[in-house]
Structure 1
């Protein structure tokens, strides 16, 4: 019983530490780079930046005020744990945005650099939050609610549509097409940084090779590329012939060598390659990471 209490207390403390680190990066992104340059990088925080431009109301408070009704609406769909974690993360972020780090020096010399570094800091902020299983709320909640009603729509597509709506609103609010373009750059950079934090550098390729010489190719992969390979049993739909399908995970820079090696052994081989969002295990990063 004591061990469970200790474990829960330790997890809660880690959640708070991650939220604090995330909030610091969020405050730097918004207070230093994006808001001073009139850049609204999508999401509820982007809407808060637009409203702040006209009213002067604190961005963090606006963000919290817009998220509370969304959390109440989505409580039944999202669950108690998700709602509590999100509210905790937003509340800590609000304190840092509006109180602790509100008077940070601003950077307005080059809006492009503002968009880039704002995106990097925002991506780091979101990545830290996602690592602990929480979110910053906002359009993520709206996206989940929309998908609940329209399950055929992908979350990425819904999020993209909503972000473009915010970018359009920012262009109208600030009277400039450039702020929308800067916002688009910031969104792109943010997504790249989030992926780098969540998946690390072990984003790779997954190759499927169909060949009459799969065994020979597998041996070459293991000896020349020093990569493991798995032979899957397959049956041709048209010929009804049984063949081995070779499956191999590798790093992006190793793909050319695999392609060349496969062609040298069997020029008639059929090669299918897809992106692997994360590869963990022997030869890549540890499963613990």
Structure 2
């Protein structure tokens, strides 16, 4: 029971940090937070799907993959984490506003908090949704930190999306991913909890 509440607290803090970084700093500058959003943009572009629906389809499809490889508990905890993150994004977008923005500062601060949030989620074997599921699966089977596969998969999706739609925000998105995935690996290396292990055990 103690481990359950510790994991719950860590997932909540991770979701709030991620939502803070995205809702207050990245999204107001139209900087994509990950490859899942890039895939959703492509679905919207080719099939004229609503962005919210497209993003839900991407996240849900990848979470189904997560169930197969990482178990049902992974799915349930990921849904919980995504709910906390989405609620936090909405809260910070609605009730907070930064005057006289500087995009460089927003990019750095938003990406750092995004990385902290996603790192805390991944320490708990919980994905932030989207491409994070694939990164955890690769990390699980290759015994590596999740930041590197997350960066390269997202970068490929950004390149494809930019080539088809627009190159305007490609470099901002890529820089954000480099900062956030570096922070993710730093958070995953920290030894502030005895229960953290990199060789996640599948639990069904």
Within 5 A, what are the aligned runs for 1:189-268? 189-200=179-190
Higher relative contact order (CA 8 A, sep 6+): 2
Q: 1:36 to 1:155 in 2, by over 3 A?
A: closer
Aligned to 1:18: 10
Deviation at 1:124, TM superposition (A): 1.0
When the two structures are superposed, what TM-score results if normalisation uses the length of structure 1? Answer: 0.52
User: Whole-Å Cα distance in 2 between the matches of residues 37 and 49 of structure 1?
Assistant: 16
Q: Which runs of 5+ in 2 are unaligned?
A: 197-204
User: Whole-Å Cα distance in 1 between the matches of residues 138 and 148 of structure 2?
Assistant: 11
User: Whole-Å Cα distance in 2 between the matches of residues 288 and 141 of structure 1?
Assistant: 21
Deviations 1:99-147, CA, capped at 9 Å, x for gaps: x333131577322222211110101101221232322132133356789
Partners of 2:39 and 2:58 within 8 A in 1: no
In terms of fraction of residues, the more helix-rich structure is 2
User: Whole-Å Cα distance in 1 between the matches of residues 100 and 158 of structure 2?
Assistant: 19
Q: Which runs of 5+ in 1 are unaligned?
A: 1-7, 201-279
Q: Which of these residues, 154, 162, 170, is aligned with residue 163 of structure 1?
A: 154
Q: Which of these residues, 100, 123, 141, is aligned with residue 131 of structure 1?
A: 123
When the two structures are superposed, what TM-score results if normalisation uses the length of structure 2? Answer: 0.70
Partners of 1:40 and 1:49 within 8 A in 2: no
Deviation at 1:56, TM superposition (A): 7.9
Deviation at 1:174, TM superposition (A): 7.0
Q: 1:26 to 1:164 in 2, by over 3 A?
A: same
For this pair of structures, how many residues does the alignment match? 191
- Secondary structure at the counterpart of residue 97 of structure 2: coil
- Secondary structure at the counterpart of residue 102 of structure 1: helix
Partners of 1:39 and 1:170 within 8 A in 2: no
Deviations 1:219-276, CA, capped at 9 Å, x for gaps: xxxxxxxxxxxxxxxxxxxxxxxxxxxxxxxxxxxxxxxxxxxxxxxxxxxxxxxxxx
Aligned to 1:140: 132
In terms of fraction of residues, the more strand-rich structure is 1
Q: Which of these residues, 181, 187, 201, is aligned with residue 171 of structure 2?
A: 181
Q: Which of these residues, 12, 18, 34, is aligned with residue 42 of structure 1?
A: 34
